[in-house]
Amino acid sequence: MDLLNTLVDKGLRRELPSREEALAVLATSDDELLDVVAAAGKVRRQWFGRRVKLNYLVNLKSGLCPEDCSYCSQRLGSKADILKYTWLKPDQASEAAAAGVAGGAKRVCLVASGRGPTDRDVDRVSKTIEAIKGRHEDVEVCACLGLLSEGQADRLRGAGADAYNHNLNTSESTYGEITTTHTYQDRVDTVQQAQAAGLSACSGLIAGMGESDEDLVDVVFSLRELDPDSVPVNFLIPFEGTPLAKEWNLTPQRALRILAMVRFVCPDVEVRLAGGREVHLRSLQPLALHLANSIFLGDYLTSEGQAGKADLDMIADAGYEVEGADKVTLPEHRRGAESDADAGTGAGADADADADAGCGSHAGSGGCGPCGSAPAEQDAADEARTDLVAVRRRGAGTDLAPNA
């Protein structure tokens, strides 16, 4: 297939595909799906070998957010029956993080609901970062606290934070339909503040909110321009009690095409398989590992994921390996002149070792619905799998053991 050959060549050279090429990936048929996965898998392995980075979420403060993001179970006016609690103490958060690290997580993501942190909140999170780093010196810590004010990114960096997450979520042209209490530009500004402070930027999207193919390509091209180190790809979890509870626009096949498009547009960044993978990819989750080099382990902020052991088994069964603490995730050209113990056995060496293995051997318009999908695919997507949406009742904020 000429399109896929072209995209592989561009991905191996870190060359940006055209918008038309990105849209063409989303328009491929189910009959072409394994070819698409195989092609994007070659790009993934070139830059990240067969390694899968594990990340673990700790929800520091849950619910009661003043923002009105339509997709979020913690939003203003949400009737979703989620856990609600105020700030975890540093020792509580450190204990929660320890469960993820014990399960193999290399990065701990500290998340708090709200528009953005106060200076007192930054002090709280700084103490939590210090508690986690004091217990696990090598673990990466990513903070996700909403919109940052001037100087807050520097303070988080000074406390030991390695990264900051703030997703763009959807295209600029449709952002106002999803959220009205802040702007798309507010999100861009926060990511740029984190980058200016020396934090590794993490910014991604949410698919499945009723957006068009053009919206998906727009947000991914915007992310490419923003140049974060990590791009989480979330699939909408339609929580009852939220405005998007009836949005079931994804099939496993479409979710894989979206991941492949992101990999082709952002070939050498950490593409993370994030929230909603169990709900929408279901039994095709292992195929996504040929596209994404990073996943969340265990549960999410307000919903439950599959068992942590099942995540580890899935990685092993797919022929991949968990990325160890001694490995540096990003390719050397994205790390500048930094040296590391993994310099001689990084992505390039892993890619050479498995260049002939794995999924490389596997063999638009006119659709219905806002996603431009084929009619048969849309019919399948209309089958709401509400049974797969489970509210988190364990881990942080509860007395039950976490899933890790």
Q: Which residues are annotated as a binding site for [4Fe-4S] cluster?
A: 65, 69, 72
Positions marked catalytic: 65, 69, 72, 109, 142, 202, 272
CA 156 – CA 145 distance, rounded (Å): 11
Q: For 101, phi and psi rounded to 5 degrees?
A: -65, -40
How many angstroms separate the first and last alpha carbons of the chain? 41
User: Nearest-CA neighbor of 109 among 275, 271, 296?
Assistant: 296
Write the burial class of residue 189 (CB in 10 Å: 0-12 exposed, 13-18 middle, 19+ buried): middle
- Residue 31: phi and psi, rounded to 5, are -65, -25
Please tell me the distance from the alpha carbon of residue 76 to that of residue 79, in angstroms, as a whole number.
Answer: 9
Which tokens go with 321?
């390996």
Annotated binding site for [2Fe-2S] cluster: 109, 142, 202, 272
One-character DSSP codes across 80-122: -----B-PPPHHHHHHHHHHHHHTT-SEEEEEE-SSS--HHHH
Q: Among 158, 92, 96, 83, which residue's Cα sits nearest to residue 122?
A: 158
Strand, coil or helix: what is 142? strand
Q: Is 85 exposed, middle or buried (0-12, 13-18, 19+ CB in 10 A)?
A: middle
H-helix or E-strand spanning residue 55: strand 51-61
